[in-house]
Structure 1
């Protein structure tokens, strides 16, 4: 039996709670508490490639384990994908619970060795433990964007952020080159361009929960992506607010996207990061990202809020977790607990 979950904010579709495993992480001198290892059956997994993991990166190890059970490229039929999507009832029934720091994920299917509905996972840190409770991280593109899921997990943990949402399927998981009914010609399982996924539902639910209890600070939702080294020749890091290069948001020095770009360039000592206003030739501006459009109240271009930040990175940049940690710490102040 899992112990009762205590967390600051849990958003669980009530009708599917029976199919979820919820547990909490307690730090110990060994980084992973014995209760985590035995109760949740999550093994220590220290695979990190060439990326150096810090002693506090327990959520990264968790991510490494979960990725084993995600839906990989060309692993699903269209019927399997459609049957796995949240139902209308699951989209409506949400419950809030004011307790502690939790991980929410599906139960594994013992036959397939995968999560049965490819939903990914959510981590929510209690507000009492979050030094930057207004920062929220997500990764939509498992497998195809490099190691961005682990990167998002690391930066969520290292910066004392509030939430982490990771999609549980490759954008090309569905066989047959099928496209999203929401935004063709994007792939059917592309969580950044399909508003029917649990990834999108959880991001929206977190945003709405934060709006229902307005804090004294501005919430910022960062979505991490990886781009090919041949993309956008003038930019190693391309950060946008989900708006085109001419949008007024890039002239606001306090906009989160501009604060991030300045901090990255300051920490790196170079001109690594750019916004669409600085590099208008790059087309990776996230203007069609479904969660970005939700936060921005699009379609009207003047509605851009700046709360959404979409970050594309080439491999060297996305592997430099320490640079990103320092940049986010400089860009966003700690709120005293």
Structure 2
């Protein structure tokens, strides 16, 4: 249904699919197990992700692997405003939500339409309100390489995850903290493709996750950026500074995407507080984020249990927590300008 409206913009399309997000508490033990991919299906999902990233005017000829051919369709979507996109979306729904909830993937329909090697993702639809719509709008406006949106709310299955364990309870359908979620598998495939196709230089490439924070979380920061490492004692080397807690990794002269984007966002939103861990008391630093750990040098088989550190971290992963005002459509234009300023175009 979402793909059949000829007047829909890409932003409309993302909002339409967002309505099919598997909702809180939807799964029982039985239905969750039935919705999870088999090993063969997971390989098919990763292969489909890789195939889409190599599309160049041949979207409709992409072959969906046989193991997931009944789950996914690949479609060419032409935005009335001009751009065209190749979309991998689930082909069926049950009770008004995705039948599986593995996620939505989009890429520009041609290589020429890719303007920047940035990969945008929204891991927490429905929970982090408006982040899928924001990610979709910025993907379109900046000419990003890929867009990945999770298909389940993080609380769709309320069983605690046994992947990342901490004082915070994470659930099995939280893709930021559970490697069994198909979102993690697609994220891995996106990263592998990028590294096999030119790598991820700091000036022009990043894997960006958009999140939303509540009004009482880090209330002094409108936008808080990190790279999946924080600044509690012992986690990062320190430099002398009149401001306690300042960390060398976030303040040294090395060029890193999180620094460039922070500077560009501060310029785009001069009345907002745009912060890094080096100048904020906020602790939403994504140290438990499994994809962040992978990008930051932790082997895939160890991301559930091992955090990264400053020596391993390259900075390719950018985790963004935002107040609701930052996620609204009124902010899209300034966000676009900031991303364009922070990352060198192709």
TM-score, with structure 2 as normaliser:
0.76
- Confirm or deny that 1:260 pairs with 2:261: yes
> For structure 1, which segment, 163-172 or 206-215, has the greater mean C-alpha deviation from structure 2 after superposition?
206-215
Question: For residue 228 of structure 2, what is the aligned residue in structure 1?
Answer: 242
Question: For residue 159 of structure 2, what is the aligned residue in structure 1?
Answer: 178
Q: Give the secondary structure class of the aligned counterpart of 1:91.
A: helix
Question: For residue 196 of structure 1, what is the aligned residue in structure 2?
Answer: 180
How far off is 1:99 after superposition?
A: 2.9
Distance 2:20 2:153 in 1: 11
Q: Give the secondary structure class of the aligned counterpart of 1:303.
A: coil
How far off is 1:90 after superposition?
A: 2.4
Q: Quick check: 1:44–1:61 contact (8 Å CA) kept in 2?
A: no
Distance 2:326 2:273 in 1: 8
How far off is 1:92 after superposition?
A: 3.0
Q: In the comparison of the two structures, how many residue pairs are matched?
A: 281
Structure 2: runs of 5 or more not aligned:
57-84, 237-246, 299-306
Q: In the alignment, which of 95, 99, 122 is matched to residue 55 of structure 2?
A: 99
Q: Quick check: 1:43–1:65 contact (8 Å CA) kept in 2?
A: no
Q: Give the secondary structure class of the aligned counterpart of 2:218.
A: coil
Question: For residue 144 of structure 1, what is the aligned residue in structure 2?
Answer: 127
Q: In the alignment, which of 93, 101, 115 is matched to residue 131 of structure 1?
A: 115
Q: Give the secondary structure class of the aligned counterpart of 1:220.
A: strand
Q: Give the secondary structure class of the aligned counterpart of 1:80.
A: helix
Q: Quick check: 1:249–1:306 contact (8 Å CA) kept in 2?
A: no
Distance 2:105 2:340 in 1: 22
- Confirm or deny that 1:59 pairs with 2:10: yes
How far off is 1:318 after superposition?
A: 1.8
RMSD: 2.1
Q: Give the secondary structure class of the aligned counterpart of 1:277.
A: helix
Question: For residue 27 of structure 2, what is the aligned residue in structure 1?
Answer: 76
* Per-residue CA distance 1:150-186 (angstroms, 9 max, x = gap): 0000011100100000001111112xx4211212420
Question: For residue 328 of structure 1, what is the aligned residue in structure 2?
Answer: 339
TM-score, with structure 1 as normaliser:
0.78
How far off is 1:326 after superposition?
A: 1.4
